[in-house]
Amino acid sequence: MGALKNETGVDAQVSQAPYTIADYINVRAKADGLSQRTIATNTGYSRSRINRILREEDRLPISIIEANTILASMGVGQLEVALANEVIQNNTPIDADGMSVILSLIAVMVDGLPTKIASLLELIEGLESSDIRKEHGIRVRNAIFDMLKALYTDLTDRKDERIDYTKF
């Protein structure tokens, strides 16, 4: 891990190189307890091909078809794959483990949301589809971020309260 100095002068840990969809596959496989052998069996790809595209060093490029096939065999939906690609393309400063957890949260949060939003047309009297605009998405995104920030701030505060630092 390398260190970067941000504007405040505090060192922060960041990954040495941008991660790839292969890194994401490895993290998901590890979390699910899947070996490369199991992935090969589930996808029909040879074990040697799986090893060449998923090993940590001297990795061969993975094709989009291979990535989609492997992730589908692991039960990862297309939404989560699209989110992973967005994070990877934007070079988001997060390690692959963190990326996996965050993408899982977002995928669960967004799953079924279009249907729920569409149901507002029936639930709210007088609301028409022309009243719903994409600009509203910015406010919704900001509200979700603020809610998550408050939720996780509260969580970390409670963790601190449970730990008795006076013993150390």
158 CB contacts (<8 Å, ≥6 apart)?
Answer: none
Higher-scoring residue by pLDDT: 53, 95: 53
Q: Are 14 and 93 in contact (CB under 8 A)?
A: yes
Tens digits of residue pLDDT in 115-131: 999 999 999 999 999 99
Q: Are residues 131 and 152 in the same domain?
A: yes
Q: What per-residue confidence (pLDDT) applies to 116?
A: 93
Q: Are residues 39 and 12 in the same domain?
A: yes
Higher-scoring residue by pLDDT: 15, 112: 112
The pTM is what? Answer: 0.63
Distance CA 152, CA 134 (A): 28
Burial of 104 per CB tally in 10 Å (0-12, 13-18, 19+): middle
Domain count for the chain: 2
Q: Are residues 106 and 117 in the same domain?
A: no
Q: Domain of 155?
A: 113-167
146 CB contacts (<8 Å, ≥6 apart)?
Answer: none
Q: What per-residue confidence (pLDDT) applies to 11?
A: 40
Higher-scoring residue by pLDDT: 93, 50: 50
Distance CA 160, CA 5 (A): 27
